[in-house]
Chain A
């Protein structure tokens, strides 16, 4: 069993997975993201930090085009995944989201059984040919979500009946079941208690072996614990981006320093 402190997982992390160039986001008249350019690496946990309303969640939702579901939202600039522009007209957001999965702030299991929750993604993407395949995928995903042992005896109980922490791990299992390449996490621990948070953090670190993980968090401790790279957002600008250790110990920008030391936020 995995039983070591965080950041033990050792992976090669250098390839650029997602790159953004001069991204602008508008909500109606409101200019929410201004001139953001960033390159996110594969097999790396990147944390987005910053005060409330700074645009970090908005930017995260641009990365798999979840903003498409909001009528008044408009994105400009270039965001590419493995060198392909994801806002290209020919790109099908459905295919994109299969590659770039997402976990949300509040656990949102579907009102279905645990099994059906996890099997939903593989089913719609046709990942399993037989029932046995599907069973295997579900089990693997639940194991990777570190929740298999808790639910293996009640796979057909409703997912909404689990505790908050279990629900969130179920949602992570659901997201990894579709074999995404990038996993976006929007404050995945904000609705959880400390014990559940620790479990989820452990999980995030582990997921790094296969995925590029981008996590939005309010907690600087969390960012420090789980991420290798950190981006600091303020008022819609990307203020600073670099190695987590460098950002937390030796920030370049004075605003970053103020935030880290708790003077703004």
Chain B
């Protein structure tokens, strides 16, 4: 299998936008936040042709920022993403239509004043994939493929339920005939029974179209279900990445272990369950701890962890882990 997408040394900082007044005030010691937020720091990974890479992490870990950089929506501060060897962004602009995105909130990602047929056909027409004349048939075809009645093309987003809107969002992304689909929490806002329908649709279309995917979610069981490989993020860095069965079956990094232990499991026997939560809270990306970012919460932390940041290093089983003690 060849690497279709390659990310090398991706870093994204968000600098606070300070007015002249703020800067002067900061100079005189006023409490103005001048530190940058390090959302993603030095992340490298590859997505192979035809595979789905799951990206898991808690809020604020930088997974959405990473997804937006892969999708070519947000330029990285440094580092870059290559698709088949060619950069995805050049001088802050996306250079390809081969990557498309499905966002979390189908209420926010669809233009409320536009009929969904126009929403789906806009991109393909603008990029010359279809002609305006062919658009209605094209839209009808895509609506049918995502399980909607082709007659709904004339409706507005508010006339659909959450699950149906997410189907529209998927149709819009796939209508651009991408090779890579970035899904940022595509089922997080849906009910369980609707979530299952959308996941099934995703699995069907992925197979039918041979898609390569980056699937971002905070839901460990959803990611396990759809991913071939999984990357776990903590405070802007990947701490563990490898085949899904390995990462879930025998997690090496203490954070991955803690995360998997924290997930409430469906308890089918009468035994009482004991939670083994990770102690403490996520540190602020404004002032990440020195050394390993997880050390303040880690039961195995030593002096070495406080001093030196472990690099992502390969382990048996095709897995890579960033930990001194794993």
Asked if A and B are interacting partners, one says no
